[in-house]
């Protein structure tokens, strides 16, 4: 059975909002991915029809939503390119090679691998939360993980999970973190960088 309502709250940056049923009742959560017709972005005041379902916590959620009067846009079924994922793997191999010849300390490789694994998990949890309408992982957290060395894991997660691959300005900030982290890695290869790492290591131990 289809329900008809009006969008009374919409956060376009996060891609979700709430529908108030025209017949009255509790507000219903709607994610942008629940829309069947996306020729344009939803807006407050739009009339939508939808199938009423519930998230993991039993809260009302809209599925198969359609904005009244908006045509269905044909969307090509394209898979994300594999080049970024290959670049991520290639960088980790590069770090491993540098560690093998003692160009960088072995803990640097461990940090990249560990933070990348954590980042992949964070992306997976964020996508799951987006589907279920739960609390999301903040974008600042994802950026901090990328800056700390988790960007190879982020690229792998973005490609495999099809998550955070188009949203702006998230993508622009993400690539800034990649550039900054790579610059820090290159600096570690210099005498000054190696000396700074030894100072940090000795202070920690």
pLDDT digits (tens, 9 = 90+) for 71-96: 655 454 455 568 889 999 999 999 99
Cα 5 vs. chain centroid, distance in angstroms? 29
- Output the pLDDT for position 95: 96
Which pLDDT value is given to residue 2? Answer: 87
What are the Cα distances from residue 87, in Å, to 126, 127, 146? 23, 23, 15
Tens-level pLDDT at each residue, the chain (205 residues): 789 999 999 998 899 999 999 988 899 999 999 888 777 788 999 999 999 998 888 899 999 899 987 765 545 445 556 888 999 999 999 999 999 999 999 999 999 999 999 999 999 999 888 877 778 889 999 999 999 999 999 999 999 888 888 777 899 999 999 999 999 999 999 999 889 988 888 887 7
Whole-prediction pTM: 0.61
Share of the chain above pLDDT 90, in %: 59
Q: What is the pLDDT of residues 36-58, one digit of tens each?
A: 877 778 899 999 999 999 888 88
Exposure letters 162-188 (e unless 16+ CB within 10 A, then b) = ebbeeeeeeeebbeebbeebeeebeeb
Domains of the chain: 2-67 (2.40.50.140), 83-204 (no CATH)
pLDDT of residue 75: 52
């Amino acid at each position: 059975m289809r329900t008809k309502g009006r969008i009374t709250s919409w956060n376009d940056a996060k891609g979700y909002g709430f529908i108030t049923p025209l017949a009255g009742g509790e507000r219903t959560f709607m994610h942008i991915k629940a829309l069947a017709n996306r020729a344009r972005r939803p807006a407050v005041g739009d009339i939508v029809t939808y199938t009423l379902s519930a998230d993991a916590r039993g809260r009302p959620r809209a599925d198969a939503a359609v904005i009244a009067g908006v045509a269905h846009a044909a969307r090509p079924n394209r898979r994300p390119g594999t080049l970024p994922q290959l670049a991520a793997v290639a960088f980790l191999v590069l770090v491993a090679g540098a560690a093998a010849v003692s160009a960088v300390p072995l803990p640097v490789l461990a940090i990249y691998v560990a933070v990348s694994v954590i980042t992949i998990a964070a992306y997976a949890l964020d996508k799951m939360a987006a589907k279920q309408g739960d609390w999301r992982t903040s974008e600042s957290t994802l950026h901090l993980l990328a800056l700390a060395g988790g960007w190879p894991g982020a690229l792998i997660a973005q490609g495999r999970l099809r998550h955070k691959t188009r949203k702006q300005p998230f993508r622009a900030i993400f690539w800034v973190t990649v550039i900054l982290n790579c610059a820090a890695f290159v600096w570690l290869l210099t005498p000054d960088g190696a000396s700074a790492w030894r100072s940090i290591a000795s202070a920690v131990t």
